[in-house]
Structure 1
């Protein structure tokens, strides 16, 4: 049985996926893994692939959801997205990184979408896969 923290995280991801579907997005995958890398949600908004990180926090907690997206987490997200693109031979697709912030309060969940949380050039070049990268990708 998952811990209370894990149950809240799962419920937050469920709320985020439902929110994105209401926006008309197509959810391609949830909790996609490649070894130690993970992407919470891979979705399509029109022609764009969107790698979505979900952060769930209790309302009134010490940290707001967006504060949990650290530089290290962004680097891991870039590596995970590159692995996903490689696994799906999807290098020609435009993509971006979004964050869904979920705030829980008494069993209810409030969601907020923050688009483009990783900008081009923000990540370290050591994570680049070289010639597979294209100019429109956010790394």
Structure 2
């Protein structure tokens, strides 16, 4: 596995732990279909969250959220709809969130969360 892939996986682990500490349950990780991949699918109360995780070692070359373009947000909406079709009716609300993880390998990685980005 390439270093960049390892960094991304580490960021996803950090993000999943962050969500779990806030009462979310991880429903699925790295769900893939022909159209792409959703990093994390989570549930809390009556809300299903499709989370895009962006991980960087630092913000020296830009904030992780800068990688979530309008095109990426549209693809996340399509992927969420496809996951819902595949897994049957999803009760309650659906939301697409973004999570930025910086310095994922440290003892105290920085995690930022934006709810409802798409």
TM-score scaled by length of structure 2 = 0.91
Q: Structure 2, unaligned stretches of length 5 or more?
A: none
RMSD over equivalenced CA pairs, Å: 1.3
Query: In the aligned structure 1, how far is the partner of 2:91 from the partner of 2:48?
Result: 10
Q: 1:75 Cα shift?
A: 1.2
Q: 1:91 Cα shift?
A: 4.9
Query: In the aligned structure 1, how far is the partner of 2:94 from the partner of 2:84?
Result: 10
2:42 corresponds to which residue? Answer: 43
**Which structure's CA Rg is the greater one?**
1
Q: 1:54 Cα shift?
A: 0.3
Query: In the aligned structure 1, how far is the partner of 2:87 from the partner of 2:59?
Result: 40
1:29 corresponds to which residue? Answer: 28
Q: Structure 1, unaligned stretches of length 5 or more?
A: 119-139
Q: Deviations over 1:69-128 (max 9, x none)?
A: 0111111101100100100112553101111110016x212111111111xxxxxxxxxx
Preserved CA contact (<8 Å) 2:46 2:91: no
Task: List structure 1 segments (4+ residues) > 3 angstroms apart after TM superposition.
Answer: none
Preserved CA contact (<8 Å) 1:52 1:100: yes
TM-score scaled by length of structure 1 = 0.78
Higher relative contact order (CA closer than 8 Å, sequence separation 6+): 2
Preserved CA contact (<8 Å) 2:98 2:114: yes
